[in-house]
């Protein structure tokens, strides 16, 4: 149902504003309330420090204070960076500003120095570079030892990685070896009282949980591609490359890459990278009807996506699924056809620039995130939309 704010319990801490995943909450204060809040804040700032910290607390603070700086791991394959790494540098910059600390990138591979320049253009002030043939292909052991050695030497407070196959693997093993916390698939990251607030869906996406790692460092998070916006590249930005020796020799690595076979199967369409996505749900009624969406996609130069119901029904392949257990997308335009708008679907597409929903049920929750809503029968609306667009194109 509708969220309700109980005014008698609200203390104006604005925490809800910060954590609302849809950025839907605003808080306004009357001048009188503002005066009281300012007075309270001033009193808190000027208050004498609490009596002596107990020794345990003091030791903890000292341990945490040894860690400083925000790091982003730059994932690469054959010398090409995964875009999510640049998205994370954009977010990393905000976090570093909030902590008043430097933003750094970590580049690992074989002959990958060109990625350092790119990382600087996306905001990294320092780039730690480990460049050696042993790091040519991703192998858990070699990358884990290398990254752990870097962390132990330079002690960053935050490490961000893409929630890709590689990132999930590396983040997990590194967090385990360093005995620190890791939050996977974060959808929101911010700083509060010096700690990283890591927000992610929990309990099947029914609630948003904010996870804090306040006793260990570094604080590690993975974020899926397209969740954070892509920052602007600025070629004039400068930074420093710190070359580090690779602490692993080839004969210490158990896994050998003998051959790389590219997957020739699958539908070869990357919905996560598309600018226009036309998704169909259970309302499409049958596999054949997805032809309507293909036609519309063709006119728009887009691709066809699907809700989980449509995938489960076998109407679309799994790699087209949008949502919590599918892909997170951020296209310019997302058209949802016959999709009700379950929370698990919304978390995968709600950050699209424009959402257009076509549904015959005016109460469907998809309309709550839609920029434009069309209440009607999709079997009438979609063909006429396609015809109109075709006519416009001439």
CB of residue 308 to ligand FAD, shortest distance in Å: 3
Distance CA 158, CA 95 (A): 9
CB of residue 190 to ligand FAD, shortest distance in Å: 25
Residue 318 binding ligand FAD, by CB under 6 A: no
Phi, psi of 372 (to 5 degrees): -130, 135
CB of residue 276 to ligand FAD, shortest distance in Å: 18
Binding region for ligand FAD (CB under 6 A) out of 31-39, 145-153, 261-269, 339-347: 339-347
CB of residue 378 to ligand FAD, shortest distance in Å: 4
CB of residue 278 to ligand FAD, shortest distance in Å: 13
Of 159, 293, 364, 385, the one binding ligand FAD (CB under 6 A) is: 364
CB of residue 208 to ligand FAD, shortest distance in Å: 15
Nearer Cβ to ligand FAD (197/366): 366
Residues of span 182-211 touching ligand FAD by CB under 6 A: 204
Of 144, 164, 187, 307, the one binding ligand FAD (CB under 6 A) is: 307
| Pairing outcome for strands 188-192 and 195-202 | antiparallel
DSSP one-letter string for 116-165: HHHHHHTT-SEEEEEE-GGGSS--HHHHHHHHHHHHHHH--SEEEEE-SH
3-state SS class at 45 = helix
Distance CA 173, CA 171 (A): 6
Residue 323 binding ligand FAD, by CB under 6 A: yes
Binding region for ligand FAD (CB under 6 A) out of 185-193, 237-245, 323-331, 383-391: 323-331
Residue 321 binding ligand FAD, by CB under 6 A: yes
CB of residue 377 to ligand FAD, shortest distance in Å: 5
Write out the two tokens for 206. Answer: 């029914």
Residue 310 binding ligand FAD, by CB under 6 A: yes
Query: Between vectors from CA 164 to CA 71 and to CA 235, what angle results, nearest 5°?
Result: 50
Binding region for ligand FAD (CB under 6 A) out of 55-63, 68-76, 132-140, 372-380: 372-380
Distance CA 144, CA 120 (A): 24
Binding region for ligand FAD (CB under 6 A) out of 95-103, 218-226, 235-243, 337-345: 337-345
Instruction: List Cβ neighbours of 263 (8 Å cut-off, separation of 6 or more).
Output: none
Phi, psi of 23 (to 5 degrees): 45, 45
CB of residue 333 to ligand FAD, shortest distance in Å: 18
Distance CA 187, CA 185 (A): 6
CA-wise closest residue to 164 among 205, 90, 106, 225? 225
Are the CB atoms for 372 and 286 separated by under 8 Å? Answer: no
Nearer Cβ to ligand FAD (225/283): 283
Residues of span 276-305 touching ligand FAD by CB under 6 A: 281-283
Nearer Cβ to ligand FAD (73/315): 315
Residue 342 binding ligand FAD, by CB under 6 A: yes
Give me the residue label for tokens 């007075």. Answer: 39
Write out the two tokens for 142. Answer: 């070699």
Alpha helices (runs of H) in the chain, residue ranges in sequence order: 15-19, 31-46, 55-65, 83-99, 114-121, 140-154, 165-178, 290-300, 308-312, 343-346, 366-369, 378-393
Of 324, 328, 350, 386, the one binding ligand FAD (CB under 6 A) is: 324
Residue 368 binding ligand FAD, by CB under 6 A: no
Q: How many CA atoms lie within 13 A of 224 on its CB side?
A: 23
Give me the residue label for tokens 């016959």. Answer: 338
Give residues in contact with ligand FAD (CB under 6 A): 204, 281-283, 307-310, 321-326, 338-340, 342, 344-345, 348, 358-361, 364, 377-379
């Amino acid at each position: 149902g509708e969220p309700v704010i109980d005014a008698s319990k609200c203390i104006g801490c604005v925490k809800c504003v910060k954590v609302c995943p849809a950025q839907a909450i605003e808080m306004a204060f009357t001048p009188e309330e503002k005066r009281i809040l300012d007075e309270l804040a001033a009193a808190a700032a000027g208050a004498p420090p609490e009596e002596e910290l107990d020794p345990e607390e003091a030791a903890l603070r000292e341990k945490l204070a040894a860690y400083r700086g925000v790091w982003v791991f730059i994932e690469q394959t054959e010398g090409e960076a995964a875009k999510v790494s640049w998205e994370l540098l954009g977010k990393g910059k905000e976090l570093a500003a909030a902590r008043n600390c430097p933003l750094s990138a970590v580049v690992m591979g074989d002959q990958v120095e060109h990625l350092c320049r790119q990382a600087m253009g996306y905001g990294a002030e320092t780039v730690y570079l480990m460049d050696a043939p042993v790091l040519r292909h991703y192998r858990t052991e070699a990358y884990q030892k290398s990254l752990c050695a870097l962390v132990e030497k330079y002690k960053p407070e935050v490490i961000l990685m893409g929630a890709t196959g590689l990132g999930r693997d590396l983040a997990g093993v590194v967090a385990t070896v360093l005995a620190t916390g890791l939050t996977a698939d974060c959808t929101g990251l911010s700083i509060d009282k010096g700690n990283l607030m890591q927000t992610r869906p929990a309990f099947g996406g029914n609630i948003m949980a904010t996870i804090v790692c306040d006793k260990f460092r570094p604080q590690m998070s993975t974020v899926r591609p397209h969740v954070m916006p892509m920052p602007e590249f600025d070629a004039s930005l400068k930074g420093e490359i710190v070359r580090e020796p690779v602490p692993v020799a080839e004969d210490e690595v158990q896994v050998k890459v003998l051959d790389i076979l590219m997957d020739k199967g699958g539908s070869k369409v990357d919905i996560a990278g598309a600018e226009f996505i036309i998704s169909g749900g259970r309302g499409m009624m049958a596999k054949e009807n997805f032809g309507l969406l293909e036609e519309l996609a063709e006119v728009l130069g887009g691709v066809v996506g699907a809700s989980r119901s449509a995938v489960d029904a076998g109407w679309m392949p799994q790699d087209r699924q949008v949502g919590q257990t599918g892909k997170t997308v951020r296209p310019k335009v997302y058209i949802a056809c016959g999709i009700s708008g379950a929370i698990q679907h919304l978390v995968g597409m709600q950050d699209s620039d424009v959402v257009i929903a076509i549904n015959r049920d005016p109460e469907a929750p998809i309309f709550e995130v839609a920029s434009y809503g069309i209440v009607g029968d999709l079997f009438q609306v979609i063909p006429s939309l396609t015809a109109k667009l075709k006519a416009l194109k001439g």
